[in-house]
Structure 1
């Protein structure tokens, strides 16, 4: 009887630990995003920086600097709830300074696609990891016209 009880407890512990390992698998698969990414151009410097916040969240920030002026900045985060992963962006002065959610619609080992069809621009954000580069494409409709912006950054 004791052996059967011990075996049942051990089996439950193994099953439980396997479930916990998969609990935050979507955020784990996005950890290639962590680090500082930059692109220097004649127009200025684009920077995105990402770090682990906890088991279910990666936080980040993005900015574009021209000379000594920060022309654009945003708070970013990826957050896993259950089996879904969402990308949030908060740009002060836009959307009443509230965060906007984009839900993951697809992913591979080196790409994540997030969409929010009700948002004006962008309504689709694609992150790709290519060797030592991060490529972000944002697309949607702006002033009634389809628009895509392409941002390529190197890991620093």
Structure 2
């Protein structure tokens, strides 16, 4: 019986060990499955209209974190909105943090991914009035529809815009 128990334990250890991936130095390579669902955000995006240009840029800074910047330019030179974003996997959770200069004492506001399906990512923070929900939807034409929503002055409000890959 002890021999059978030993074989089962050794088999389980070998199985678990074989599921992990290692680099050339023998260091375990962690996979960030939740973050990989947001790979479609990587790159330079923009939306041009008669008022100005909204630009958004996302890069992978390491295997568990993407950072982004978003800004709106009018008159081809005046930046009237600037936002820094971070998307990171922490354990099994995908966390989106946003920092807007001049808002929330310049501190980041965290949102947790609560829903994801068919290239749709939805992040929420019910304690934050506006926005309390941010979603990114990859469209079939490879553009991204972004919706932010929440409560402004006691009323529900939302904004939706579509960004496309930058052409410059």
State the TM-score, normalized to the length of structure 1: 0.89
Report the aligned-residue RMSD: 2.0
Moved over 4 A (4+): 7-10
Match of 2:151? 141
1:122 partner SS: coil
Distance 1:43 1:152 in 2: 15
Unpaired runs of at least 5, structure 2 = 1-6, 23-27
Tell me the residue number matched to 2:163: 153
Alignment of 1:86-101 (within 5 A): 86-101=95-110
| Structure 1 residue 17, shift from structure 2 partner | 2.5
Please give the residue correspondences for 1:3-152 in structure 2 after superposition, counting only pairs within 5 Å.
Answer: 11-17=15-21, 23-67=31-75, 68-130=77-139, 131-152=141-162
SS at match of 1:148: strand
Higher relative contact order (CA 8 A, sep 6+): 1
The 1:12–1:144 alpha-carbon spacing in structure 2 relative to 1, beyond 3 Å, is: closer
State the number of aligned residues. 150
Maintained 8 Å contact 1:29/1:109: no
Larger radius of gyration: 2
